[in-house]
């Protein structure tokens, strides 16, 4: 094919697509908050005629929604941008336009540096300015290279559009809903306060409006999101101060909403009202992600967690007293600067005492700009690797034991999507496990009674007891 022929075909394709039928591909890295943000960006761009696509090759706009938590996150982004640069250059040779944007926490942290190191990038947008993405793209089409990372976080909550009912139904029967952003805890290992800003709570009326819209579109289960979600607070209908527990009670009143979850929490903000919600609200699922990070009081103090290991364990005991069937999940960091073998053994003892249904564990990695990056006595990589392997073996054993304890139980299962095998659906247990069961596609969105019959590495198997 000659270049002229390719150009003519590209022009013909653009004519047939029309100016209101451009495609956007969004690559999402990191946490559930980024997943939520990607969906809202897609909604914001829809009004400018962009349709989402899962095929990068056909995209007119490619967005990298980035995460800055793990080590070398920025370098991974620049590596991806190098590949996109080559794709953009090839498109230009074929007479086809392509725009590239970087969003999320790396965008917030790097800003102008991204434009300097990656000349193919057209737009850099921070986590709190997604509602201005369409305008930034219009400016970029005029030849400007745009960096927009200055914000008042309330603007994002106020201006992002709610999804249309048809789009909600297409996305499925579960949904994320952001209620809080940012963090004021300033753990010494964490970059979130510097990329997402200080803690800001979304107003009650906005949360309820979006939740009602989601349920009206067919959503049965909503997960409330926040970097420190249980720090959420707001004003109730009579001007009283509400905590996350109060908000959960209010959302539980929405007709048609069957299940509620929330993540991620901080132990210091787990108050009595929230524990009461776990005791009294059957629709609040018995699963809690409550990171502790370490079991050594000395390391917890160095991390600026502002709680002790014994206080964390006592809190878990209170929560389990309120909801005995609750499954606990957590986060752990091994090899924090100054961590000794004795400190690590304290972490193993805490894990043995709490017993986790699921957990995430990582080697400590320095994040530029955080206090932890300046600490002396960094732990050698080989020591971190050895400790991580030992911790993960223990956590995996506990996860397996929890899964095995589910066999024989009769549970309510929310059917979410088709399974790998014909005639099979995948549902979600109250404890957030994937469950495979024989059921009809027409039952997606139903909650049925099943008996757990077996387990695999990452999921359970069940048989129907009754519909």
427-456 average pLDDT score: 96
Is residue 346 scored above 80 in pLDDT? yes
Is residue 175 scored above 60 in pLDDT? yes
pLDDT digits (tens, 9 = 90+) for 232-260: 999 998 999 999 999 999 999 999 999 99
Is residue 132 scored above 90 in pLDDT? no
**Is the alpha carbon torsion for 274, 276, 279, 282 positive or negative?**
negative
pLDDT digits (tens, 9 = 90+) for 79-108: 999 999 999 999 888 888 999 999 988 888
Looking at residue 418, its pLDDT comes to 95
Looking at residue 166, its pLDDT comes to 66
Task: Kindly indicate the confidence band of residue 18, based on its pLDDT and cuts at 50, 70 and 90.
Answer: very low
Mean of the per-residue pLDDT values of the chain:
90
Task: Kindly indicate the confidence band of residue 11, based on its pLDDT and cuts at 50, 70 and 90.
Answer: very low
Q: Is the peptide bond before 264 cis (omega within 30 degrees of 0)?
A: yes
Task: Kindly indicate the confidence band of residue 3, based on its pLDDT and cuts at 50, 70 and 90.
Answer: very low
The β-bridge relationship of strands 327-334 and 434-438 is unpaired
349-375 average pLDDT score: 91
pTM for this model (two decimals): 0.84
115-127 average pLDDT score: 92
Rg, the chain, Cα only: 24
pLDDT digits (tens, 9 = 90+) for 390-441: 999 999 999 999 999 999 999 999 999 999 899 999 999 999 999 999 999 9
83: buried, middle or exposed (CB in 10 Å: 19+, 13-18, 0-12)?
A: exposed
Give backbone dihedrals phi and psi of 38, rounded to 5 degrees, phi first: -65, -40
């Amino acid at each position: 094919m000659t270049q002229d022929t390719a150009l003519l075909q590209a022009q013909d394709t653009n004519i047939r697509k029309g100016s209101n039928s451009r495609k956007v591909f969004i690559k999402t890295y990191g946490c559930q908050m980024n997943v939520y943000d990607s969906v809202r960006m897609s909604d914001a761009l829809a009004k400018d005629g962009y349709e989402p696509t899962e095929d990068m090759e056909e995209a007119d706009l490619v967005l990298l929604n980035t995460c800055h938590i793990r080590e070398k996150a920025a370098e991974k982004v620049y590596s991806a941008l190098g590949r996109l640069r080559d794709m953009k250059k090839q498109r230009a040779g074929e007479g086809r336009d392509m725009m590239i944007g970087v969003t999320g926490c790396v965008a917030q942290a790097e800003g102008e540096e991204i434009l300097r190191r990656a000349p193919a990038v057209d737009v850099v947008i921070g986590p709190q300015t997604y509602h201005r993405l369409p305008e930034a793209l219009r400016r970029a089409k005029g030849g400007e290279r745009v960096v927009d990372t200055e914000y008042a976080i309330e603007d994002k909550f106020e201006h992002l559009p709610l999804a249309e009912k048809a789009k909600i139904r297409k996305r499925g029967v579960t949904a994320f809903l952001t209620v809080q952003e940012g963090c004021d805890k300033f753990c010494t290992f964490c970059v979130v306060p510097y990329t997402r800003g200080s803690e800001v709570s979304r107003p009650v009326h906005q949360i309820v409006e979006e939740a009602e819209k989601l349920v009206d579109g067919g959503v049965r289960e909503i997960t409330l999101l926040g970097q420190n979600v249980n720090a959420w607070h707001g004003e109730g209908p009579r001007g009283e101060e509400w905590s996350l527990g109060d908000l959960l009670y209010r959302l539980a009143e929405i007709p048609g909403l069957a299940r509620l979850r929330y993540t991620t929490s901080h132990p210091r903000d787990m108050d009595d009202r929230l524990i009461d919600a776990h005791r009294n609200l059957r629709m609040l699922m018995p699963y809690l992600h409550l990171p502790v990070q370490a079991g050594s009081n000395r390391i917890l103090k160095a991390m600026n967690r502002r709680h002790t290991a014994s206080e964390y364990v006592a809190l878990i005991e209170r929560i389990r007293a309120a909801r005995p069937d609750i499954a606990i999940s957590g986060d752990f960091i091994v090899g924090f600067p100054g961590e000794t073998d004795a400190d690590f053994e304290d972490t193993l003892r805490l894990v043995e005492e709490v017993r986790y249904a699921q957990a995430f564990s990582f080697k400590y990695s320095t994040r530029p700009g955080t206090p932890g990056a300046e600490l002396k006595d960094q732990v050698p990589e080989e020591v971190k690797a050895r400790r991580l392997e030992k911790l993960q073996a223990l956590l995996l054993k506990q996860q397996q034991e929890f899964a095995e304890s589910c066999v024989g139980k009769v549970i309510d299962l929310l059917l979410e999507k088709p399974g790998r095998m014909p005639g099979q659906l995948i549902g979600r247990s109250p404890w957030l496990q994937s469950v495979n069961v024989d059921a009809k596609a027409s039952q997606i969105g139903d909650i049925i009674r099943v008996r757990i019959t077996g387990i695999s590495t990452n999921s359970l198997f069940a048989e129907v007891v009754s519909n």
